[in-house]
Amino acid sequence: MGAVENFLHLRPARRVNSHAAATSKDRGINTVTFIDFEKVPKRFVIYGQLLLVSLVLKEWDPAVETFWMGQGDREVTADNPAYDASAPVISRYRDGACVWETCIQEQPKSSEARAATKCRELDAAMSGAKHRIFTRLDGLAAAVRFENCLFLNSLIQRVPMDRFTCRIERRILDDVLSDEGCTSLDDLLGKRGIDVAKMLASVGRAIHTGRVTADLNLEPIHLLTPLTTSVGVTA
């Protein structure tokens, strides 16, 4: 599929690559988004904004080891590979827990909606997992975190690990945190000998893995946002 890449590394589709995709009943009913993550070895193709928010938050939750999409109402094929919100987001956490998350606009009110939710809960339980619901209100409550995660995602995607090494920048970041316990982008970007893009990516990956802590919920990340060492995390 052809796409136009923007600074958030979200790619709305402009073309389709087969007659089957072009004539699909799902064609044109929603925005198609392409996004690359590091916790999953594939590119996600998805319909809908709420599902996008859920996936981005999973990618940037250090407690989540990996995640994938379960089976939803629509068939996902090579010709029409996009998932929609009928498919659960299945997350495996570093402590071994597994959670199925269903994205819906609001808590189920009708008997039919409650029955569908109960069926999903039973399916999750049969797989040894818990089930929860992610609504539009949950997404709005996480708006600041979501925007920060998108910003950080763009930083690390611009400096892919298979093409660039960031040894100097990571060493400086580790040394500063070891000596002072806290730093900021303003301080790090002023260090001699660093590459700005690599330093931003190094900070982004350190937050991504949980080695460094920043408050992503309070306000948009800025040059003076405190960056601190995470206790007990060495990844």
Is residue 216 predicted with pLDDT exceeding 90? Answer: yes
Q: What are phi and psi of 122, to 5 degrees?
A: -65, -40
Q: How far apart are CA 117 and CA 228, in angstroms?
A: 40
Longest distance between any two alpha carbons in the chain, whole Å: 63
What pLDDT, on a 0 to 100 scale, did the predictor assign at position 232?
57
CA–CA separation, 29 vs 47, rounded Å?
9
Give the tens place of pLDDT for each residue, 94-106: 999 999 999 999 9
Q: What confidence score (pLDDT) does residue 233 get?
A: 52
What average pLDDT score do residues 79-90 get?
Answer: 89
Fold of 11-141: Trna Endonuclease; Chain: A, domain 1 (3.40.1350)
Classify 65 as helix, strand or coil.
strand
Per the prediction, the chain carries an average pLDDT of: 86
Residues 136-168: tens digit of each pLDDT = 999 999 999 999 999 999 999 899 888 999 999
* Res. 89 pLDDT band, cuts 50 70 90: very high
End-to-end CA distance of the chain: 35
Q: How far is CA 26 from CA 20, 42, 69, 208, in A?
A: 11, 22, 18, 34
The least confident of 71-85, 105-119, 143-157 is 71-85
CB 56 within 8 A of CB 153: yes
What is the spatial distance between Cα 23 and Cα 79, in angstroms, rounded to a whole number?
11
**Sheet of 43-47: strands edge to edge?**
11-12, 32-36, 43-47
Using a 10 angstrom Cβ sphere, with 0-12 exposed, 13-18 middle and 19 or more buried, the burial of residue 9 is middle
Q: Sorting pLDDT into bands at 50, 70 and 90, what band is 204?
A: very high
Q: Tell me what percent of the residues of the chain surpass a pLDDT of 70.
A: 85
pLDDT for the residue numbered 44: 82
Cα→Cα distances 87→40, 101, 126, 182, 200, Å: 17, 9, 17, 41, 34
What mean pLDDT do residues 208-230 have?
Answer: 94
CA-CA distances (angstroms) from residue 221 to 123, 224, 228?
A: 39, 8, 14
pLDDT of residue 43: 80
> Which of 10-20 are b and which e, b meaning 16 or more Cβ less than 10 Å from the residue's Cβ?
bbebeebeeee
Identify any residues that bridge with 99 across adjacent strands, giving them in sequence order.
91, 130
Q: How many CA atoms does the CB half-sphere of 96 hold within 13 Å?
A: 1
Q: What is the pLDDT of residues 4-53, one digit of tens each?
A: 333 344 444 444 445 555 455 444 445 678 888 888 877 888 888 899 99
Region label for 150, one of left (φ > 0), alpha (ψ between -120 and 50) or beta (otherwise): alpha
The better pLDDT of the pair 150, 75 is held by 150
For 161-229, CATH number? 1.10.10
Structure tokens, 33: 């988004």
Which residue do the tokens 């539009």 mark? 136
User: Per-residue pLDDT for 118 more than 90?
Assistant: yes
Domain locations along the chain: 11-141, 161-229
Does the global pTM surpass 0.75? yes
